[in-house]
Structure 1
Amino acid sequence: MTDPTRARVDHGVSSGTFSLDGQTFDVDNNIWVVGDDRECIVIDAPHNVADILAVVGHREVKAIVCTHAHDDHVRVAPALRDEVGAPIMLHPDDKPLWELTHPERPWDESLVDEQLIEVGDTTLQVLHTPGHAPGAVCLYAPDLGCIFTGDTLFNGGPGATGRSYSDENLIKESIRMRLFALPDDTVVHTGHGDDTTIGAESRRLGRFRRPRRLPGEEVAP
């Protein structure tokens, strides 16, 4: 039986389109909701508010945390905010992308690297991982043994680059320096498609690893 007081990860899928640089593609986006039976945060706000609310249920939404501002990840963020009364959180480096979709409706709170977001009995740490988008972030939940990578890291490798505001070298640097420093058994919940693990992807891409300091760790002399 699930403990209603313990945080967990709930999942859904929403279908729609992604448009950038004059091209449009059909896409299925994962919906990730983290929290307990009372409250939760929603990670990204893709195509349909009803799809997201079906995963949320009757819980209070504390925040809508956007991994980046491509339209398939933020299209219904303002509408979801209107529905649940929760702030939209986004890294400010993604302002140009956000304004392509919502030029008249700003987000509410700016994310910063290493920021901690509390929900239920767990904490998510913001990791700024630019490359797929300038303000792309991943959300690391050590208590839950997982990380939410948006479109930075997939089952199979890095997210797409080659479009406006993206940088192939930078996304690889972000993955190797920030994500591959995490434990190998960390489950990777992606923006699209199947889960993977940090270990599986670091083996796939090659282990160019440099330890990073995590909260509470002592700095080695």
Structure 2
Amino acid sequence: MAAAPGARIDHLVTSGTFRLDGGSWDVDNNVWIVGDDAEALVIDAAHDATAIAEALGGRTLRAIVCTHAHNDHVDAAPALSELTGAPILLHPDDLPLWKMTHPDRAPDGELADGQIVTVAGVQLTVLHTPGHAPGAVCLYAPELGTVFTGDTLFQGGPGATGRSFSDHPTIVRSIKERLLTLPLETEVRTGHGDSTTVGAEIPHV
């Protein structure tokens, strides 16, 4: 199935601080916007709600989708929701992490494995890929030849698993069963750093 006319992926990088287990690190995050000239969804509202809203350029924001709830991926989500009226969607297994950053503001809806999120005629399938975080998800858009992997899979291999709520054998299983089974040419758009492909990452997992 071909993507709807005008459907595209926009990208911006925002900068801020990742905090967990008493440590803090300066990080640059990828924010992905999928849509057309009329509507869009945001994958991971990181750090700067104003910059993300400007990148939308007046389009209707249908949803703010969180690949997981580490603070650097969700810190700007409530503010972006306030600016746009868009609901925040998160897998419920990541609520403990979410509450560390936003104890007084719950997400608006849940993500579930196999769920389809549609925007601008493009279908994105939610793949539950725990390991980096319990409720980590990836979003597979076959019409765009792309999977958005958050911090589950990077150029060079799996995301980090050395902190609370993470587990290395679990992330490796998620990647092998849910991501490396996708077409090898599928572009992997990550939460940090450069994009890669499914085929290029097989030797690194």
Please report the TM-score for the alignment, with normalisation by the length of structure 1: 0.90
Aligned to 1:157: 157
* Identity level (%): 61
Aligned to 1:96: 96
Q: CA deviation at 1:58?
A: 1.3
Structure 2: gaps of 5 or more residues: none
- SS of the counterpart of 2:10? strand
Structure 1: gaps of 5 or more residues: 206-221
Greater Cα offset, 143-152 or 195-204: 195-204
Aligned to 1:123: 123
Q: CA deviation at 1:5?
A: 4.0
Aligned to 2:110: 110
Pair 1:195 & 2:195 matched? yes
Contact preservation (8 Å) 1:146, 1:188: yes
- SS of the counterpart of 2:34? strand
Aligned to 2:37: 37
Pair 1:14 & 2:17 matched? no
Structure exhibiting the larger radius of gyration computed from Cα positions: 1
Pair 1:65 & 2:54 matched? no
Aligned length: 203
Contact preservation (8 Å) 2:53, 2:83: no
Contact preservation (8 Å) 1:129, 1:152: yes
Residue type matched to 1:199 in 2? G
Residue type matched to 2:178 in 1? R
Q: CA deviation at 1:6?
A: 2.3
4+ aligned runs moved over 6 Å, structure 1: none
Contact preservation (8 Å) 2:4, 2:122: no
Q: Where does 1:77-88 land on structure 2 (aligned, <5 Å)?
A: 77-88=77-88
- SS of the counterpart of 2:173? helix
Q: What is the CA–CA distance in structure 2 between the aligned matches of 1:19 and 1:31, rounded to whole Å? A: 18
Q: CA deviation at 1:7?
A: 1.0
- SS of the counterpart of 1:199? helix
Q: CA deviation at 1:122?
A: 0.7
Q: CA deviation at 1:4?
A: 9.2
Indicate how the Cα distance of structure 1 residues 77 and 200 shifts in structure 2: closer, same or farther if over 3 A, else same: same
Residue type matched to 1:92 in 2? P
Q: Calculate the aligned-residue CA RMSD, in Å.
A: 1.2
Q: What is the CA–CA distance in structure 1 between the aligned matches of 2:28 and 2:54, rounded to whole Å? A: 16
Q: CA deviation at 1:29?
A: 0.2
Q: CA deviation at 1:189?
A: 0.3
Q: What is the CA–CA distance in structure 2 between the aligned matches of 1:5 and 1:51, rounded to whole Å? A: 26
Q: CA deviation at 1:55?
A: 2.0
